[in-house]
Amino acid sequence: MENIIELNKVTKRFGGITALNKASLKVTRGEVVGLIGDNGAGKSTLIKTLVGVYSPDEGEIFIRGDKITNWNALKARESGIETVFQDRALTPQQSIVKNIFMGKELRYPFGFIKEKEQIYEANRLIREIGFTSKLINAESPVGNLSGGERQGVAIARAIYNNAELIVLDEPTNNLSLNETQKVFDFVLNVKKSNRSVLFIGHNIYHVYDISDRFVILDRGEVVHQLNKNDISTPEELMKIMRETIKTH
C-alpha cells in the first residue's frame, strides 16, 4: 500500500525539552491509525509536526515516498493533510454549507458566491460521509446538530479540501455512546473512500474499536506499534500499553 505520509526519526525540541524523540510513524492509504498515549506523551507535538505547524529539528518527512524539505502548514495542506481540532472550528449560527466552504467559497467574479453549486456539493458531501437524517440538509444551521454530527461537518469540510489524510484530535471527547457511534460511522465512510484517518484519543475503547493499527507514544517516543490482528480485545491493548510504558 502507498504511504500517504511517513515521519522518519523526527525530533522536536523546545528549549531544553525534547518533546519528540526520534519518532517514526507512517500512514498508508485507506487505513485508520489510532494514536494513543498519556497526557504529555507528545501526542499534540506529533500532530502539530505532522500537519506542519511545527517543523522538525531532526529527521525526515516523506509524502507519498518523496522526501519533503522545509515542512510547513501550507505544504501539509497541499499534500492533502487536514486536521479537525477539538473545537472543530465551526460557526454554529451558520448553515452547514457555509461552514463547509468557510474561507474557500466558490466564487463568481467580484466575489459573489455560487450558492446553488455550494449547496449541491455540500449535500453530496454530507450524504457521502453518512448523514442519513432527512431533518438535516446543507442549509440546516450547525447549531441544531449534535456533537457527533458537528464532527461530521468538520470531516466533510476536510474532504472538500481534498484531504487524503484526516487527523482527528480527540473527536469523541465528551460525546455520548450514540454520538460516538455516529463519529465512527463517519470515519468508516472516510476509510471506504480510500482516504486515511489518524485518530487521536484518550479512550482506549474508542481507539480500539475504530483503528486498524495502533501507535503508542510515551515521553516523546513511539514505544510500540501493532496491528489490530495482533490482539483480540481492548483490554489486551491496554495491557500492552501499560507494559511498554512501564518498561520504557
Question: What is the distance between the alpha carbons of residues 220 and 238, in angstroms, rounded to a whole number?
Answer: 19
Instruction: Name the site residues for other proteins (rule: CB under 8 A).
Output: 85, 87-95, 98, 102-105, 107, 111-113, 115, 134-137, 139-141, 143-144
Closest distance to other proteins from the beta carbon of 83 (Å)? 9
- Nearer residue to other proteins within complex by CB, 107 or 239: 107
Q: How far apart are CA 248 and CA 237, in angstroms?
A: 16
CB of 227 to other proteins, least distance (A): 34
Report the residue number, 90 or 216, with the smaller CB distance to other proteins: 90
- Neighbour tally for 21: CB within 10 Å: 17
Instruction: Give min distance, CB of 100 to other proteins, in A.
Output: 10
Looking at the Cβ atoms of 90 and 241, the one nearer to other proteins is: 90
CB of 42 to other proteins, least distance (A): 23
Q: Evaluate whether 193 touches 128 at the Cβ level (below 8 Å).
A: yes
Measured from the CB atom, the residue of 9 and 114 that comes closer to other proteins is 114
Smaller CB separation from other proteins, 91 or 227: 91
Contacts of 79 (CB under 8 A, 6+ apart): 5, 63, 64, 68, 164
User: CB 177 → other proteins: shortest distance, Å?
Assistant: 23
* CB nearer to other proteins: pick between 17 and 135: 135
> In this complex, which beta carbon is closest to other proteins, that of residue 107 or of residue 124?
107
Phi first, then psi, for residue 28 (nearest 5°) are: -95, 165
Cα end-to-end span (Å), the chain:
31
In whole angstroms, the minimum distance from the beta carbon of 52 to other proteins comes to 14
Residue 127 CB, shortest distance to other proteins, in Å, is 13
Residue with cell 510513524: 25
Cβ atoms of residues 138 and 96 within 8 Å: yes
Phi/psi-derived region of residue 84, left when phi > 0, alpha when psi is between -120 and 50, beta in every other case: beta
Instruction: Report the 3 state secondary structure along 159-217.
Output: HHCCCCEEEEECCCCCCCHHHHHHHHHHHHHHHHCCCEEEEECCCHHHHHHHCCEEEEE
